[in-house]
């Protein structure tokens, strides 16, 4: 995977993220890390605190390619609240993710890594229940096929928007949440000084988020 000039395979960089086995050396590196590096991630939970942090860890490899790039370790910590215990009697559990993607923050990388579990079921749920593909509008096959294609296209566009332009905390946002946060923003087109301007009814922080998203989207110049 680290050799970009791989024989008999695709050339160039291939980004990945995988779960790694918790060795004693890796566990020690996680426990020795500074407490201030941990940050919360995932949906709030009333029983378990979920946190992640970068880990400085260099495993001992039998061999290493001369052009190989350093890999990134991200630790995951689950802590029971109010003295609760996991099934094995512990109050804290540690996991780790290994990746060669350095330009994403830890929260976004973990969310992307976890998407592979049950992904297609979430896709079906979103298309059927959030984008109205679960109820076909016509008795004609062609019309229903067009309706389904529009729903799938909408899902793909929203997914690309979240991955390319929106902040990491919206990566798992469903279409309904995006509608209230972004698409249903009230605005007015104003002609002034021979210019056409758009006035948005939102706080300056929201407008700044709009501008950041526009800059990140691969729009034609």
pLDDT in tens, 51-108: 999 998 887 655 555 556 788 999 999 988 776 777 777 888 899 999 999 988 898 8
In order of 74, 143, 160, the CA distances from 146 in angstroms are 43, 5, 21
Q: What is the mean pLDDT of residues 20-39?
A: 90
Q: Which residues pair with 200 in a beta bridge?
A: 187
Each residue's pLDDT tens digit, 127-163: 999 999 999 999 899 999 999 999 999 999 999 888 8
As given in the structure block, the two tokens for residue 9 are 């395979």
- H-run or E-run covering 106: helix 106-114
The domain spans of the chain are 17-114, 119-216
Query: pLDDT: is 28 or 12 the higher one?
Result: 28
């Amino acid at each position: 995977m680290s050799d970009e000039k791989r024989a008999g395979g695709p050339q160039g960089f291939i980004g990945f993220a995988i779960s790694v086995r918790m060795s004693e050396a890796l566990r020690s590196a996680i426990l020795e890390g500074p407490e201030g590096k941990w940050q919360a991630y995932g949906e709030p939970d009333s029983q378990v605190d979920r946190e992640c942090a970068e880990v400085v860890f260099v495993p001992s490899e039998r061999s290493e390619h001369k052009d190989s790039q350093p890999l990134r370790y991200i630790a995951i910590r689950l802590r029971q609240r109010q003295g609760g215990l996991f099934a094995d009697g512990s109050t804290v559990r540690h996991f780790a993710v290994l990746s060669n993607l350095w330009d994403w923050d830890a929260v976004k990388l973990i969310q992307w890594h976890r998407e592979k579990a049950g992904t297609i079921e979430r896709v079906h749920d979103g298309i059927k229940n959030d984008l109205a593909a679960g109820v076909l509008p016509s008795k004609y096959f062609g019309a229903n096929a067009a309706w389904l294609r529009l729903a799938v296209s909408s899902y793909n566009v929203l997914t690309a928007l979240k991955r390319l332009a929106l902040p990491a905390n919206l990566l798992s946002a469903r279409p309904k949440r995006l509608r209230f946060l972004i698409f249903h923003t009230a605005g007015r087109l104003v002609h002034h000084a021979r210019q056409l301007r758009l006035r948005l009814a939102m706080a300056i922080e929201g407008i700044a988020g709009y501008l950041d998203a526009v800059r990140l989207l691969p729009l034609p110049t």
